[in-house]
């Protein structure tokens, strides 16, 4: 296979990406690159619904268990990994299926998500300290002071985005609108590849039921014990990991802020369900979807072979 195609299978949480991706990859001799910002951490298995060892044995997987949970893995690291995998799989003459639902990571295949700004440790520490003492309001206060021209396109309700924007402003001395104008000129590292995207969907009612079933299964599979162990491995020092749905609620449970396992499970279901709307909005506005497949359709219950992507794309 010589064409520069990347096949992307995505969709909201609990829609059924893992099994369908495995079936497609097996049918087409493909390898899989996972696009998940937490499954790349070792030990984060139950709470991320990471493919099991048996599932991983069916098809070569990339992007899983890359670093210890107490380690650091940035979007820059993911881009470097993804580029390496894309080139290596292409050299084998095999298709590559990119699957996952982490929007920020997924977007890197379609648009630039990082720049050349290297944030010094002292800047990161200053921003962290402000967050610990004043929270989001403190970040926004300083950001307004340093960027009087405005916040540009920044989502001011997203603490992680705000903290990162503040780091870049403090590092460069430039306002957000100026940084955004420079950013608009940056190209995606995967611009030379042709992407084909299949978005999986289900009705809200079905997804809610699947989310509830997944939460119950995670509890039964030992989510609490997993989090207890991961805390000893540095989970609490990893801001991204410990704030992931499933993990942050379990951490609260272990601190005594949630008193029963039933309440813990209910909160995980509630927060995951709330995530659905954000994911759907993201896929609609940020990802160029080519094909949509509603898995509630009984005719799609057993998708096989090339059904995710038209044969013409596979033969290109």
Q: What is the pLDDT of residues 7-16, one digit of tens each?
A: 999 999 999 9
Q: What is the pLDDT of residues 246-281, one digit of tens each?
A: 999 999 999 999 999 999 999 999 999 999 988 988
pLDDT > 80? residue 92: yes
pLDDT at 75: 86
Give the whole-angstrom CA distance, residue 157 versus residue 30: 39
Ramachandran angles phi, psi of 50, nearest 5°: -65, 145
pLDDT > 90? residue 136: yes
- Mean pLDDT is lowest, of 31-40, 154-163, 258-267, for 154-163
- Confidence band, pLDDT 50/70/90 cuts, at residue 192: confident
Q: What is the pLDDT of residues 196-245, one digit of tens each?
A: 999 999 999 999 999 999 999 999 999 999 999 999 999 999 988 999 99
- Mean pLDDT is lowest, of 26-35, 180-189, 301-310, for 301-310
pLDDT > 60? residue 3: no
Task: Collapse the DSSP code of 90 into the 3-class scheme (helix H, G, I; strand E, B; otherwise coil) and give the result.
Answer: helix
pLDDT at 313: 60
pLDDT at 302: 60
Domain 121-183 in CATH 1.10.20.140? The answer is yes
The residues near 110 (Cβ < 8 Å, ≥ 6 apart) are 188, 190, 195, 286, 287, 288
Give the whole-angstrom CA distance, residue 64 versus residue 78: 11
**Long-range pairs of 116-121 with CB within 8 A, sequence gap ≥ 24:** 117/168, 117/171, 117/172, 118/171, 119/167, 119/168, 119/171, 120/171
121-146 and 159-172 helices, crossing angle to 10°: 100
Ramachandran angles phi, psi of 304, nearest 5°: -135, 165
pLDDT > 70? residue 301: no
pLDDT > 90? residue 84: yes
Assigned CATH topology for domain 5-112+188-314 = Rossmann fold (3.40.50)
pLDDT > 90? residue 184: no
Q: What is the pLDDT of residues 96-121, one digit of tens each?
A: 999 998 888 999 999 887 666 788 98
pLDDT > 90? residue 67: yes
pLDDT at 115: 62
pLDDT at 284: 86
Average pLDDT, the chain: 90
User: Domain segments of the chain: what residues?
Assistant: 5-112+188-314, 121-183
């Amino acid at each position: 296979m010589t064409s520069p195609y990347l096949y992307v299978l995505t969709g909201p949480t609990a829609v059924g990406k893992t099994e369908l991706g495995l079936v497609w990859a097996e049918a087409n001799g493909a390898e899989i690159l996972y696009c998940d910002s937490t499954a790349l951490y070792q030990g984060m298995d139950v709470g991320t619904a990471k493919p099991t060892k048996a599932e991983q044995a069916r098809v070569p997987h990339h992007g899983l268990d890359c670093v210890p949970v107490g380690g650091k893995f940035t979007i820059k690291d993911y881009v470097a990994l993804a580029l390496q995998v894309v080139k290596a799989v292409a050299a084998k003459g095999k298709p590559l299926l990119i699957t996952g639902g982490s929007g920020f990571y997924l977007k890197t295949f379609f648009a630039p998500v990082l720049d050349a700004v290297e944030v010094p440790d002292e800047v990161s520490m200053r921003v962290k300290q402000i967050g610990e003492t004043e929270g989001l309001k403190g970040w926004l206060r300083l950001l307004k002071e340093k960027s009087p021209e405005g916040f540009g396109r920044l989502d001011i309700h997203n603490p992680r985005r705000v903290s990162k924007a503040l780091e870049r402003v403090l590092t460069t001395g430039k306002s957000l609108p100026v940084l955004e104008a420079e950013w608009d000129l940056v190209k995606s590292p995967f611009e030379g590849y042709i992407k084909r995207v299949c978005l999986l969907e289900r009705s809200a009612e079905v997804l809610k039921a699947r989310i509830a079933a997944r939460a119950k299964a995670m509890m039964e599979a030992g989510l609490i014990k997993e989090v207890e162990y991961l805390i000893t491995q540095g989970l609490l020092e990893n801001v991204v990991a410990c704030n992931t749905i499933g993990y942050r609620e379990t951490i609260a449970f272990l601190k005594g802020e949630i008193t029963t396992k039933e309440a813990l499970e209910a909160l995980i279901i509630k927060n995951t369900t709330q995530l659905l709307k954000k994911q759907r909005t993201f896929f609609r506005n940020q990802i160029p979807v080519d094909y949509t497949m509603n898995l509630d359709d009984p005719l799609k219950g057993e998708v096989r072979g090339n059904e995710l992507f038209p044969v013409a794309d596979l033969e290109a």
